Structure 1
Amino acid sequence: MDSLIFDLDGTIWDPIDTVLHAWNSCIRRHDRIKGELTRGDLEKTMGLQMPDICRKLFPDLSEDQRRYVISEFILSEKGWIEKQGGNLYPDVENVLIKLSKKYNLLIVSNCQDGYIESFYQFHNLDKYFIDYENPGRTGLSKGENIQLIMRRNNLSSPVYIGDTSGDLNAARYAGIPFVYATYGFGEVTEYDYVIKEFKDLLNLF
């Protein structure tokens, strides 16, 4: 094994409280959206791409209205994350320091363009990762982005670490082992390895 590719939400951090503030600040300006979102609403969408999230949360809006809402959400979310970040899981930076000395570390997340950059900016963790990718930049699925980042960095034997069935499917699509982070947002019944805390990666690898 030469590298570890990470999902972001539910694997490295929990951003929901920050994202919730950002999105609800936009929702208050829209008469067509009845009621603000709750943490539970967002937890149910973790792992989905933004268009799918908006279809799930706002089924009564037209596609044009959803596109407009998405553009507002992205701008608001980016600003909030840059100012207050999210909740890193325990021991994340200490574990990344140790892992980065042995392996190439990368991120592939189903987020919009600018989201990972905002995460890096607030938490100053970019120095541990050699590359990252997302559908906001490429328009590709998570599995395709994993393959893309593997080719771009000449990775021969990576694993993918995530917390949802979508992460499992992406790893299977890319043909690499999947590490299930049970502390995240999803429930997965099939995996190659499992961790109950982020620091378990040190014992696993």
Structure 2
Amino acid sequence: MSLLQKRNMKSKLIIFDFDGTIADTSPGILDSHKFALARMGRIVPEESELLKVIGGQLLKTYIDVFKFDEQSAVEAVRIYRERYANVGINLANLYDGFEDLIIQLKNYGCNIGIATLKAERFAKEMLKKFNMLDKFDVVCGMDKCDSQTKTDLIEKCIEFCNVNKSQAILVGDSSNDLKGAEAAGIRFIGVTYGFGFKKNVEYNFITADSPREVYSAVQKINNKQKEDIYENGSVCSNQNEQRETSW
């Protein structure tokens, strides 16, 4: 195996979704949706229905799910965020074991990022409350125009940390996260302790049932990549190693 292959086979950037991956933010999100919908004169759905929209782009949710026209959706999102800033932001709880996970990943040599459809200012403020903001190398959240996709935010993290897509993994709890990772062309770990993916269900990607299991999942992906490189690159490795010098 060449030195370049050895260097690139390990993941260097782990990107996390926020809601349902880093923290249980559901109390504040549900409260803000209920408040905004009631203020806009709409019937408030059951909590079981509101839970299904967590993790999606907010403006798109109000248009596609709650059936607002664009102008009304913009106003509803404004009300939602005003309520979230005053109330919802204080109702989140960091998942047990997540801080230890970040320490493990840092010791493993990984950069740590966040790609969230939550407003970036909210994500950073909540991380400050958790005393976690300084543990992340990059935090990319939704802009004021609600114009970015999950894929856009993933790619911003990758560009900021200056790594190859082959060296990045997204960790998330929903199909929105999976689709974003696939569109960005990076690997994915699904967590089953959040709002989307469920335990004891067969998926075509690696899953983790707790923050503590995410570290093992990262190692599993790296070991699989190492096996693939050995299998596919062993023929020319000796020639490459002769031409390469130390880093």
| TM-score by shorter chain over 0.5 | yes
1:110 aligns with 2:120: no
Q: CA deviation at 1:180?
A: 1.0
Instruction: Confirm or deny that 1:44 pairs with 2:52.
Output: yes
The aligned residue for residue 155 of structure 1 is 163
Deviations 1:23-72 (A, max 9, x none): 33344434x213x344312211122101122124432x332122111111
TM-score by length of 2: 0.73
Within 2, Cα distance between the matches of 1:56 and 1:38?
17
Give yes or no for contact 1:81–1:118 (8 Å, CA) kept in 2.
no
CA contact (8 A) 1:17 1:39 kept: no
Of residues 64-73 and 16-25 in structure 1, the stretch that sits farther from structure 2 once superposed is: 16-25
2:224 corresponds in structure 1 to none
| Alignment correspondent of 1:189 | 203
CA–CA separation in structure 2 for the residues paired with 1:23 and 1:97: 34
5+ unaligned residues in a row in structure 1: which ranges? none
AA of the residue aligned to 2:159? R
Aligned residue-pair number: 200
Is this contact kept in 2: 1:112–1:136, CA < 8 A? yes
**Structure holding more helix per residue:** 2
Calculate percent identity across the aligned residue pairs. 22
Which 5+ residue runs of structure 2 have no aligned equivalent? 1-10, 220-247
> Which one has a bigger Cα radius of gyration?
2
- The CA deviation at 1:200 is 0.6
Deviation at 1:140, TM superposition (A): 2.3
Note closer, same or farther for the CA distance 1:158–1:56 as it changes in structure 2 (3 Å cut). Answer: same
Work out the CA distance in 1 between the residues paired with 2:50 and 2:214: 27
Asked whether 1:16 is paired with 2:16, we answer: no
Do 2:120 and 2:139's aligned partners in 1 also have CA atoms closer than 8 Å?
no
Please give the alpha-carbon distance, in whole angstroms, between the structure 1 residues aligned to 2:33 and 2:125: 16
2:92 is aligned, of 78, 82, 86, to: 86
TM-score, reference length from structure 1: 0.86
Q: Does 1:170 align with 2:202?
A: no
Structure 2 residue corresponding to 1:68, chosen from 50, 68, 75: 75
